[in-house]
Structure 1
Amino acid sequence: MRSGLEGELLRVLRDGGPQTKNQLATALGVPRTTLTASLRCMAAAGHVEDGPVAASSGGRRSVTVRIAGGRRLLVVSLGEDTARVAVLDGHLTISAGVSIDLQDRDPDAEWLADTVRRAARRLLGPEAPSAVGIAVADRGTDLEVTLAERLAEACPGAPVAVLPSVRAMALGEMRSGGTTGVDDFVAVRLGGSVTTAAVVGGHLGLGANGRSGEIGHLRVEEFGPACGCGLTGCLDSFISASALVTQATSLVGRGRSPALAAVLDHAGALDLRDLVTAGRAGDPVVGQVGRDLGQRLGRVVAGMVAQSNPRRVVVGGPVAAMGSLFLGDLRATVYRVAPHALAEGLEITLSDPDGRADLIGSASAAMTAWIGQDFSTSGGELPMAMVRSPR
């Protein structure tokens, strides 16, 4: 294991991009001679290399330092109906990726692991990644554990970081999304379940046993719809993807949407993609479902705003594709219900629609795992339970 300075140097380069030696020495608080010695060792080990020439500040232009191109990160974002596999460099730039459609399929763990491994081999070629990151939405522990084990076997020496999709989304937003430069925000993911992640003072909160943010089974109405957990009135029973589809199907059955009725007659069932398509076409049923979603979620988010006083709330996940249908009601409800002093100036936005933040956040976690394994620093982002060290 190498020095903590070298690990911190990689973290600064990951978060800030290529920088000059003077910039790095200032950021790390070390003399330039000390930095130069470390850079020489790291370049010889293949960790860093010369980057682009920096913009002139009136004198001689300096060559920057960047993380070496050979230090690549393999990430997998396992969503409700799509698995995305991508390769990123040490500065968290996506260089290649593929999507695996899981809709209308109930993949077993071994099939998914083999499919992901084949995709990874195509993307990586003969080179092994420095680390692997896996973001998991809500597909069950068998898939998660098997995928992590198989990728650890396929990528010997590379640590595997596993984290919930909402935390990957939060890290991705913090590194390169709409919340870049914002140290206090809340990420909300709407999918198979409703989950959240809070970033406070630039640090991702994890909770006492690493399970913070699992609000889907927060009981919001005593006599609400039945939930898969066995209770009634949970938040998931109102605004998870399956709950929204159930609500829309019920309204279609009352003759409220001829367009969705035709889809239902043809396919036998509706899914979230049908709702998104119909909503963009102005369907009244989806419009009502979206307004109800925004108002109910808004009351919950208002409580979160009162508790943590974020500067921004960012909403992502598959249901966020309905964004324009619920965003206005979400904002109006939060601004009305949350304490005025805390809601004033609060921004409520959508994450990128293609899930790019999940991939970047997974890569950030993977790089933190690599730094923690090979250098004497952890970056303060991942508990050891989230990192599967290679055997």
Structure 2
Amino acid sequence: MQRWQLSRNETALLDHIFWSSGLSRDALSGQASFSKSRTNAAVAGLLAQGVIETTEEQVATGGRRAQTLRLSRRLGVLISIAMGATGVEVGVLAPDLTLLAHHSEPANVRDGPALLLARIRALMKHLLQQCGAKAADVIAIGIGVPGPVDFGLGQLVNAPLMPEWDGYPIREDLKADFSAPVFVDNDVNVMALGELWRLGRSLPNFLVVKVGTGVGCGIVCHGQVYRGANGSAGDVGHICVDPNGPRCHCGNLGCVETMAAGPAMVRAATEAAEAGKSPPLTKALESGKPLRLQDVALASRAGDAAAHAIVQRSGALIGQMLASVVNFYNPSHVFIGGGIQRIGPLFLAAVRQSVYHRSLALSTRHLEIQYTPLGERAGLIGAAALAMQETLRLPG
């Protein structure tokens, strides 16, 4: 973007165009509170510089196709990285967040940053080649990581799941092969950005809760991701739900993460299988492979009572934690994502029951709790949204 010199009006309209995923001139004028003449002048400048382009959308009743505006694909491409505790996904996207190519594979963050980031750089190069793009075409790189992030420095800070990453210069590592700016954030903040982009910023106050290897929460407040004073806002996985519970890897007792996240459910499933309380889980364990969350999901959907109990207990504990957050923050929506989505409606029902039972009536009067509509793509779309959003905020 540094090749273009944009006026304040042009920059303001560019932001609206990105977040709205295609706007007519009239709609853009209304959103920006600009007069039509002011809007048309700024749009003409953006079109002349090749920053935006026109597309033809739906057919208007009795008339011609409506012309909308979007970020120009001539700007280049975005690279998006969604890193989890047990896997990584890399994607190449157009400036309007159309997914052009992607790849996902298992990964272990405990292998350390040097090994995993080298693999990610290799995947980035491969996907760019697949799209017919070069490193010089990359506008920006966004990456979500499973731990607290100092957003200004782009570094993980005291991440319980990945201690070797503490203070590691992720941005500098990725810049070894790319000159584009790199933006690093917590994985759930990135998921929240993905949902915010999907919604066109139409919901100003909502939560995104990820339940996988750990538990985290992305907070959207007044249409912006809220990171807190030091980047640790939303670290709800270490809220205590049982002071007499097991010790968490953070050192405290009874954290919801250690009692209700994916590994806790798998441990409970393994115990039930070994005790002969669940025929389908016992059969899965006898295959010689460790049980996975997917095995619990399959057993639960098949009507297994032990699997049902594990899912309901986990949902109830997550809901217990969320009830306090809902009372405190009063969001309009709670979107739940991560590996837990594979469980299906039973988990969601248990969460809802616990939240509605424990929260104040005023806090839940219009509250909606559902799985993230973006599903497993939330992190990938969100990291690209992070990259584009922060690039548009750069000087020049």
Counterpart position of 2:162: 140
- Number of residue-to-residue matches in the alignment: 372
Counterpart position of 2:20: 16
Q: Distance in 2 between matches of 1:334 and 1:216?
A: 16
Q: Deviations over 1:177-218 (max 9, x none)?
A: 6x9632222211112221112223322222122210101112
The worse-fitting range, judged by mean Cα deviation, of 136-145 and 69-78 is 136-145
Please say if 1:98 is aligned against 2:107.
no
- Of 174, 181, 186, 1:151 maps to 174
Q: Distance in 2 between matches of 1:247 and 1:332?
A: 22
Residues 149 and 285 of structure 1, relative CA distance in 2, 3 Å threshold: farther
Q: Distance in 1 between matches of 2:60 and 2:319?
A: 48
The answer on whether the counterparts of 1:9 and 1:28 sit within 8 Å (CA) in structure 2 is: yes
Counterpart position of 2:123: 119
Counterpart position of 1:168: 190
The answer on whether the counterparts of 1:320 and 1:353 sit within 8 Å (CA) in structure 2 is: no
Counterpart position of 1:389: none
Structure 2: state its 5+ residue gaps. Answer: 148-160
The worse-fitting range, judged by mean Cα deviation, of 133-142 and 6-15 is 133-142
Superposition RMSD in Å: 2.6
Residue 309 of structure 1, CA deviation? 1.4
3-state SS of the aligned residue for 2:331?
A: coil
Counterpart position of 1:300: 321
Q: Distance in 2 between matches of 1:159 and 1:273?
A: 37
Counterpart position of 1:287: 308
Residues 183 and 233 of structure 1, relative CA distance in 2, 3 Å threshold: same
Residues 8 and 260 of structure 1, relative CA distance in 2, 3 Å threshold: same
Amino acid at match of 1:100: E
Q: Distance in 1 between matches of 2:344 and 2:171?
A: 32
Residue 374 of structure 1, CA deviation? 4.2
3-state SS of the aligned residue for 2:90?
A: strand
3-state SS of the aligned residue for 2:300?
A: helix
Residue 264 of structure 1, CA deviation? 2.4
Residue 271 of structure 1, CA deviation? 2.6
Amino acid at match of 2:19: D
Amino acid at match of 1:22: D
Counterpart position of 1:237: 258
3-state SS of the aligned residue for 1:163?
A: strand
Q: Distance in 2 between matches of 1:161 and 1:142?
A: 20
- Of 279, 286, 293, 1:272 maps to 293
The worse-fitting range, judged by mean Cα deviation, of 147-156 and 354-363 is 147-156
Please say if 1:27 is aligned against 2:31.
yes
- Of 252, 271, 282, 1:261 maps to 282
Q: Distance in 1 between matches of 2:284 and 2:113?
A: 31
Highest RCO, 1 vs 2 (Cα 8 Å, sep ≥ 6): 1
Residue 92 of structure 1, CA deviation? 2.1
The answer on whether the counterparts of 1:321 and 1:353 sit within 8 Å (CA) in structure 2 is: no
Q: Distance in 2 between matches of 1:295 and 1:228?
A: 21
Residues 134 and 294 of structure 1, relative CA distance in 2, 3 Å threshold: same
Amino acid at match of 1:130: I
Counterpart position of 1:198: 219
TM-score by length of 1: 0.86
Counterpart position of 2:87: 82
Please say if 1:5 is aligned against 2:36.
no
Residue 268 of structure 1, CA deviation? 5.0
Residues 229 and 106 of structure 1, relative CA distance in 2, 3 Å threshold: closer
- Of 103, 120, 138, 1:129 maps to 138
Counterpart position of 1:339: 360
Amino acid at match of 2:30: T
Q: Distance in 1 between matches of 2:287 and 2:374?
A: 28
Counterpart position of 2:43: 39
Residue 44 of structure 1, CA deviation? 4.2
Amino acid at match of 1:322: I
Structure 1: state its 5+ residue gaps. Answer: 376-391
Q: Deviations over 1:77-116 (max 9, x none)?
A: 001222111122222222221112227x954423322222
Q: Distance in 2 between matches of 1:307 and 1:228?
A: 26
3-state SS of the aligned residue for 1:18?
A: coil
Amino acid at match of 1:19: L
Residues 190 and 61 of structure 1, relative CA distance in 2, 3 Å threshold: closer
Counterpart position of 2:391: 370
The worse-fitting range, judged by mean Cα deviation, of 140-149 and 93-102 is 140-149
